[in-house]
Structure 1
Amino acid sequence: MADTPITNTHQYEAWNGYEGRHWADHQARYDALNDELNAPLLEAAALRDTDTVLDIGCGNGSVTRLAARRARHAVGIDLSAPMLERARTTAETEGLHNVTHVQGDAQVHPFERSAFDAVLSRYGVMFFADPVAAFGNIAGALREGGRLAFVCPQSFDRLDQARIFEAVARYAPLPDLTAASATGPASFADPSRTRAVLSAAGFEGIEVTPLETHQHWGTDPADASAFLFGWGPMRHWLRDTPEEAVSRAREAATEAFGGFVTGAGAGAGAGVRLRSRSWLVTATRG
């Protein structure tokens, strides 16, 4: 159990159950989905070797470690004990000694005030139960003029992944991932809402810039489909679906992934690559 308060109990349970274990056990696979976001995110954060940096929703710690190589010290915070264990082990293996990992809920965690020069996050800010309160707490952890940089998904229908889900949904029920929601993957898909939340939380100079990257889903369509159907949300959505329907849905996903095969053999860029569209959000603490 985390040593500090948890308000986002649903997410805490998910990330300390199957979902968190799956991410920890498949660290390289999940990083392959999002690693193309690292360079623009770190460039936007403009880290200096004197900075103390906070990584929100650090997960397995990939971005935290990258930040630590550029900054004086990096702190990663996440709800998931399995992923934090993986993050700590990897940092030790890589010989990084200027990294700290904390299990906690960034919405209410008692950060030391004005302790950080920069806060960043790669897909780790969309699930706050109360986004204004969460970003207000984060703003308090930043020094005056401190920098915020994060990436979050655009609307689901603008991602190639939507094509795969359309194929699955022909045989098995899935939620409407294009629907607007106050929390969840698409919670910051609307830039106007993002600006309103950050402004209310005490940030200024808010910029929202589109990013187009690619996600590496697997070596071939069958591999990509197997990975997708092991993903926690997919297992949750299909838990009551008859086995025959799940099997048909998986076959449909494999066929759909076939439209996104690129390269040949085991060379760089080979495999199943889906286009992803994100927002790069930057701001400063007022």
Structure 2
Amino acid sequence: MAPVDYDAELWRHHEVLVRATRVRPADRVLDIGCGTGQTTRQAARTATAGEALGVDVSAAAIARARELARAEGLGNVTFEQGDAQVHRLPPAHFDLAMSRFGTMFFADPVAAFATVGRALRPGGRLVMMVWQAREHNEWDVVIRRSLGAAAPAGPDPFSLADPATVTAILRAAGFDGVAFTDVREPVHYGPDVATALAWIRGFTCTSEVLRRLEPAAAAQTVERLRRALAEHRRDDGVWFDARAWIVTARRGREGTPAAGATVRW
């Protein structure tokens, strides 16, 4: 049974993001919430005369990203552990800030994007992929239905789903030219039901629910998940419909948050 990981789950989204970022040979690229660095390394391979920096809060992910970059012989890519909301970044240094589902969990999104904006040169680009609303993402709907009413709230991966909210956040953080592109690509949970079930059982929301349940109830919940996954099995694996946004913006010439800006949601 071949394992699945986050990069394998999102490989169709990865291809969309690569096309949207349009990395140029001399670009300096910042990758926000880079995970194990697939998107950062891709940017570095294209920016042959530039560089790429990946930042993520997970020490384990950063360690793995460094291992993979060394194995690929990439000399123009670096990785740093940190929260992009407060991480010290060189001012006006980057041409492009990018992210693949790495910007939805900021405690203070205006402050976080202002930090990113200050690291961009004036007119520098932001290109990020975020999930659309929960009801448009079959993977979340089906998993939560299978877990039942006990499913925990937890961090919200859909916090940047609303274009009006995101536009207000980015403008308050000093960006302009905010635009949205609809992305309709499925997520891949593995080549078979057993692999997909093992992957989903590793999700925080799933493991927390199963941990709280009595053994018999936990077994019933796992069986509901297995049946739901079987219904989404195709010849080439287990797939769920998904909807995302590609959000693009540019750092304003001033590059600072609007004075007294307040964002409500």
Cα distance in 2 between the residues matched to 1:154 and 1:212: 10
Deviation by residue 1:94-119 (Cα, 9 ceiling, x = unmatched): 11111100011110111110010000
Cα 1:65–1:234 change in 2 (3 A) is same
TM-score relative to the length of structure 2: 0.89
- In the alignment, structure 1 residue 282 sits paired with structure 2 residue 248: yes
Which region of structure 1 is more displaced relative to structure 2, 236-245 or 65-74?
A: 236-245
Percent identity over the alignment is 41
In structure 2, the residue matched to 1:48 is: 24
SS at match of 1:239: helix
State the partner residue of 2:105.
127
The amino acid of 2:121's aligned partner reads: R
Inter-partner Cα distance in structure 1 for 2:237 and 2:124: 40
Provide structure 1 residue ranges, at least 5 long, that are not aligned to the other structure: 1-25, 178-182, 264-269
Deviation at 1:256, TM superposition (A): 0.7
Give the equivalent residue in structure 2 for 1:206: 178
Count of residues in correspondence between the two structures: 249
Moved over 3 A (4+): none
Match of 1:23 in 2: none
1:1-286 pair list within 5 angstroms: 29-71=5-47, 72-170=50-148, 173-175=150-152, 184-263=156-235, 270-286=236-252
Name the amino acid aligned to 1:240. Answer: R
Instruction: Please list the CA deviations of residues 115-154 of structure 1 after superposition, one character each: whole Å capped at 9, or x if unmatched.
Output: 1000000000000000000000100000001000000111
Unaligned runs of 5+ in 2: 253-265
Describe the superposition over 1:9-43 as per-residue Cα deviations: whole angstroms up to 9, x where unpaired.
xxxxxxxxxxxxxxxxx995211111211222222
* Cα separation, partners in 2 of 1:166 and 1:83, compared to 1, 3 Å: closer
Contact kept? 2:152, 2:205, Cα under 8 Å: no
Compute the RMSD of aligned alpha carbons. 1.7
Q: Could you say which residue in structure 2 is the equivalent of 1:13? A: none
Q: Partner of 1:60: helix, strand, or coil?
A: coil
Q: What SS class does the counterpart of residue 194 from structure 2 fall into?
A: helix
Contact 2:134-2:141 within 8 A present in 1 as well: no
Question: What letter is aligned with 2:198?
Answer: A
